[in-house]
A and B are shown apart, each in its own frame.
Chain A
């Protein structure tokens, strides 16, 4: 197996990431969230509906915050959710995760655990198969930040 060589490859690929952006005032929503939204929707506006974000009001540990995103949809061939983009507007990088659904998913719901650097808004935008977008956002208060800064 290639277990060892994988480590060597990783050690060699460090350079490009040396310019870390951490330390840039994380309290302000000055990251790339808006750019990512624009890239995802192609400039279209998203209506605030159908998306449910389930996150704790207060997260004591920002290293692992449970997050559930659910989009109301019949999930049929005619009408289903194709993608859901989740963003955090106060993290060094806004991107959190993108979930891909299809009619075979049955339900547009996903749960994972995320890192939050500070108190901020979580934004979810769902893309429907007809090209429309729906969105929701929720603020989470973070006691201890989760980006190891």
Chain B
């Protein structure tokens, strides 16, 4: 796994009342190479894209995204979820080659 990369994740609140909307901002360092650029020798630089992003809260998927090469390098994603139960907020980015980058935060729902 790509352990060298540590995503930056921020929840707008760590504790929420049930039903509150929680905002998540996440940034991960990734080249997002489109597969369309050429190097100085005219060789195509191979594509390397994070194609899938999933966020689960307490094991339930709350948001997911499929990325195309048109998503910028070091992809930033911001979304919201409805606080339902306390638990880990797990964000997973999946690369073209199947490797994953995982980040985790915790939400406490009262």
Contacts and interface: CB of A to CB of B under 8 A. Distances in A.
Interface of A: 1-3, 6, 9-11, 13-14, 17-18, 20-22, 63-65, 68, 75, 88, 91-93, 95-107, 109-116, 146-149
Contacts of A98: 65-66
Contacts of B80: 105-107, 109
Contact of A96 (B64, B70, B76, B82): B70
5 contacts: A104-B60, A104-B81, A104-B84, A112-B76, A113-B71
A18 B70 CA distance: 18
Interface residues of B, number: 41
Given A106-B21, A148-B36, A13 B46 contact: yes
Contacts of B75: 112-113
B77 A95 contact: no
Nearest to A14: B46
Contacts of B36: 20-22, 92, 147-149
B40 interface: no
B110 interface: no
B71 A115 contact: yes
Contacts of B78: 68, 110-112
B94 to A, nearest CB: 13
Contacts of A102: 61-63
A111 B79 contact: yes
Contacts of B71: 96-97, 112-115
Contacts of B35: 17, 20
